[in-house]
Amino acid sequence: MSYCRDAKVKSMTLPDIPTSVTFWAGIATLLTAAGAWFTFAATAFGSRRETYQGIRNLLVGLNAELDLISQWASGSEGDPGYVLPDDLRTLTREQKDWFNPTRYIFTLETPTLQNLTRSQYIRHLTPIVKPLVKLSYSFRRLFDSHADYRAFVNNSPAVYTSVFKKLKDPHSIYLPVESDFMNFVFNMNHRMHKDLIGGEKSTDELCLYKAFRIAKGALAEFEAHLHAEALPRWFWIFHILAGCLAIDAAWQVLRWFSILC
């Protein structure tokens, strides 16, 4: 009985202070190393999720702006755009309103599209940057041309008013200055619709009709393949090492308190 009591007391004897300090310092080092890695991995994972969500939000803005641009780009499915006759007389008969100086296009701001290359996510948007920049250029030059058109018609208020009144009567006779004014207005409208907006037969890839469809297709394909960036595979090596450190620390603590032999 005395032997068993002595053995029990001996087994519960605590180590000396230097040994305890060294042991717990080692445990702290193991747990700190494992915790530091898992904290870093969690931060990297969170950053990738945040980037993914930021890109998704950017795409929401781009899609909304492209939906509005489609109204100028003849963007409906199967719409051929402006396929105009080559014969001038036929064209003037079909597009009589192009002589009217009161035609007006309300401009549209597209801040997401215009500021795309300044986005913090630009390196993730490589597949869609070029077609969207081309679309922005096509859309901008249309409104720049329209601004020139409005500046021209508003620069001659007397002729503008005279032509506007005479257009109401199909039998009106126009003065030479009025005819020149109307012909210039027609030519500017013709350029905006045929060259800048264009249609399926346009040869200019930068016309709004074609630039819009190329950009829309690229955006749809990009969105279909978009996913959160996964952590690199080599992270798993450090996951395993950190897990081993944590398990080793737990094992040593259990042994320290004689829970495990």
| Model pLDDT for residues 206-244, shown as the tens digit of each residue | 999 999 999 999 999 999 999 888 888 888 888 888 889
What range defines the domain where residue 94 resides? Answer: 40-233
| Tens of pLDDT, residues 17-55 | 777 878 888 888 888 888 888 888 888 888 889 999 999
29 in any annotated domain: no
**Per-residue model confidence (pLDDT) at position 34:** 85
Q: Any idea what the Cα angle at residue 120 is, between residues 114 and 123, rounded to 5°?
A: 95
Q: Is residue 47 part of a domain?
A: yes
Residue 193 falls inside a structural domain: yes
How many domains does one find in the chain? 1
DSSP state of 125: -
In a domain, 141, yes or no: yes
Tell me what pLDDT residue 57 has.
95
Residue-wise pLDDT for 172-215, tens only, equals 999 999 999 999 999 999 999 999 999 998 989 999 999 999 99
Tell whether 211 is covered by a domain.
Answer: yes
Query: pLDDT digit string (tens) for 84-123?
Result: 888 888 988 888 899 999 888 888 889 999 999 999 999 9
Bigger pLDDT: 79 or 61? 61
**Structural contact between residues 246 and 30, judged by C-beta atoms closer than 8 angstroms:** yes
Torsion of CA 88, 93, 99, 102, to 10 degrees: -140
9 inside domain: no
Using an 8 Å Cβ cutoff, are 101 and 160 in contact?
A: yes
